[in-house]
A and B are shown apart, each in its own frame.
Chain A
Amino acid sequence: MPRPAVLALLGLAVLAAVIVLGVAAGSVAVAPGDTIGILLRALGFPLERTWAATAETIVLELRLPRVLTAVVVGAGLAVAGATFQGLLRNPLADPYVLGTASGAALGAAIAVLIPVRIALLGLGLLNVFAFAGGLAAVAVVYRLGRGGPLAPLTGLLLTGYAVGSLLAAGLAMTMYLSGANLRQIFSFLLGGLGGSTWMSLAIAAPLVIGGSVAILARARALNGLLLGEEAAAHLGVDVRRERGILLGLATLVTAAAVAVSGLIGFIGLVAPHLVRLVVGPNARHVLPLAAILGAVLLVIADVVARLLGEIPVGVVTAVIGAPFFLALLRSARGGYEL
């Protein structure tokens, strides 16, 4: 089995290549040489400008923030997915399992309906409401899901499902009342990186990266939970505290990702799985490698979405992710015990 460090270096090299690919692709043809030249010049290399000013605008102002947002969002979703899978001890968990998706979607839908146009630091009302909605939903699930007769994990999962369903009903109602704005809500639901700007990246990236690093620092607790909450307690993990902290961090990362790019599925579910197949369940290895893989996957998916005429990237990830997931389920041995 290859060492995780080697895999990480390999992954980063692939990521760099995929970023260049992402920046080179688009509806306006920019020669690959020019693309690399523009990037290098932006990084500080003293190169002559041999390309049109519009090409530079397109690459640096339109494509680069979009590709980098895909990197950040893909990495964040993968880390959040891995965390939820470990936390809930359920390999079918994804970043949206506790209602983040429904909460963010409802927040976004409400924002679309409000006939006010504000932009705070380059972020529209939609981004802010989506972020707040995602956080609020999980906070409600956490409050309601604790205590009660069920085991904490089961309680959380089931409450997440119930609250998510309720929020989805609210979303359906809001969409019904939205009239002409339906299209906007819908495109949020399907996920897309078309609205990425340097500003939105500057706000989302610290949250996603900061949250992910904080989760990585608590990898020990995640590992402890492998055999169950009681076993984790016996191994010295303060289960209640770690569960709350990890949940909060993973939700923060997910909400930040969703706020800038809508609901993109399957990355958070599939990337951690693929990584575990190669390096095992140790969170210290899974988290960083899943982040890299998630970033690579989303950049590629976004390129495909762009080349296919700007279809929503969530459609691409679903089309690729679902069959993979089915294959995963079929080859799973020993079932998935909870």
Chain B
Amino acid sequence: MRFIPSSAMRTVRSVASIALVAALLAACGSGPAPTGAPTPTATPAQAAAATATPAATATPAPTPAALFPLTFIDDEGTTVTIPSRPQRIVSLTPATTEILFAVGAGARVVATTDFDDYPPEAVALPDVASFQGVDVEKIVGLEADLVVAGGNGFNSPDAIAKLRGLGIPVVVVYAPDVSGVLKDIELVATAAGEPVAGATITAQMQAEIGALRDALGAAGRTPPRVFYELDATKEIYGPADGSFVAEMISLAGGDPITTGSPTVFSIPLEVLLAADPQVIVLGDAAYGTTPEIVAARPGWGGMTAVTSGAVRPVNDVVVTRPGPRLVEGLRALALAIDPAAPLPPAAAPTAAP
């Protein structure tokens, strides 16, 4: 699933959500009302800037009363009802933690996972989930009133069912592609009672993604064949067909080499040699893989990427984490693919005040 919906349509959606919130504000009748719903403008950046201003000056006091109780459908199709603005939020995925802090709900987060690493304030929070599973007892003990969990088996479905059975609202998020990430940012932000901040962030990310794509496309070059190495200690693992990483590579100006199947993540060496990557991006750089190690691997020396020295490390966390730093990852990936890529200037960080 490619990032096909045009940037204009995405902008309309985020503008519409902001308009909805603005309308709710108007309906509540307190605080300065915006001067009518903003009309979609030509450039996404202008539209985001135009709508951001009235939303920022609206006083937050009436928003919680209007937004909750909130009922919506999460990424697994479950209808979730959040009775009131959550004050004790538990995040069970690192991406969710980043989202919550980015939209200004960080003060209301009471627990995260033990592999959360960003932002720094999150690391100090108590851990209620680890690789072994979710500690339902601890979550209950912390009197959580909202839990955000990862779908597709990231967090144990048993634990999610348990928590729901005890009356704790659990929102399950799962983003199989980039548009899913933006949707999840808004979903989590809304669930946490910060829909405006969420929409602001996604609008900006959207704009940046569009600008990046335009800039890379404008140069008129053929995208090089890129192999994103997830791991190669025993078998070689790379992006599966239609996977998130494959989409990121395409957006970053590359032509992704994939495994040939949507469910298999390993790729035999012969197949990789036949595909002959022009660039190898080391997603496993954090685990010690260096371009020298790659060049020394038997059989790899013949690949174009190795002979031309186009083997580059990348921070895999920002490339793969479905959170607000995704654009940062996209830029890093684009530079790893082509250090001379003509990137537009980076926007200011979108963390809420």
Contacts and interface: CB of A to CB of B under 8 A. Distances in A.
Interface stretch (A14-22, A156-164, A178-186, A291-299): A178-186
A194 interface: yes
Contact of B136 (A55, A62, A183): A62
Nearest to A59: B137
Interface string A96-130: 00000000000000000000010100001000000
Contact of A310 (B132, B140, B141, B162): B132
Nearest to B130: A309
Given A310-B132, A310-B135, A54 B76 contact: no
Interface stretch (B8-16, B43-51, B90-98, B153-161): B153-161
B162 A197 contact: yes
Interface in A270-322: 309-311
Contacts of B156: 184, 187, 194
Interface string A147-179: 000000000000000000000000000000101
A194 B133 contact: yes
Given A117-B77, A177-B263, A179-B263, A62 B137 contact: yes
A26 B133 contact: no
Nearest to B264: A179
A195 interface: yes
B153 A180 contact: yes
B76 A27 contact: no
B152 interface: yes
Interface string A194-218: 1101000000000000000000000
B87 to A, nearest CB: 15
Given A124-B161, A194-B156, A309-B132, A57 B166 contact: yes
A311 B130 CA distance: 12
A58 B137 contact: yes
Nearest to B157: A184
Nearest to A192: B158
A194 B159 contact: yes
Contacts of B159: 194
A332 interface: no
Chain B interface size, as a band, is 20 to 34
A238 interface: no
Interface in A59-110: 61-63
B143 interface: yes
A177 B261 CA distance: 11
A28 interface: yes
A311 B152 contact: no
B165 interface: yes
Given A54-B143, A117-B77, A195 B137 contact: no
Contacts of B78: 117
Interface string B128-149: 0010110111101101000000
Contacts of A309: 130, 132
A63 B141 CA distance: 13
Given A27-B135, A184-B157, A195 B162 contact: yes
B182 to A, nearest CB: 22
Contacts of B130: 309
A22 B33 CA distance: 58
B133 A57 contact: no
A28 B263 contact: no
A54 B141 contact: yes
Nearest to B151: A180
Contact of B137 (A27, A119, A177, A187): A27
Contacts of A179: 263, 265
A181 B158 contact: no
A156 to B, nearest CB: 35
Interface string B154-196: 0011110110011000000000000000000000000000000
Contact of A197 (B132, B133, B135, B165): B165
A255 to B, nearest CB: 19
Interface of B: 76-78, 130, 132-133, 135-138, 140-141, 143, 152-153, 156-159, 161-162, 165-166, 263, 265
Given A54-B141, A58-B140, A194-B156, 12 more contacts: A26-B137, A28-B138, A55-B141, A57-B166, A58-B137, A62-B162, A117-B77, A117-B78, A119-B161, A197-B162, A310-B132, A310-B135
Interface of A: 26-28, 54-55, 57-58, 61-63, 117, 119, 124, 177, 179-181, 183-184, 187, 194-195, 197, 309-311
18 contacts: A27-B135, A28-B137, A54-B141, A55-B141, A57-B166, A58-B141, A117-B78, A179-B263, A183-B153, A184-B157, A187-B156, A194-B156, A194-B159, A195-B162, A197-B161, A197-B165, A309-B130, A310-B135
Top 3 closest pairs, chain A to chain B, by CB: A195-B158, A28-B141, A28-B137
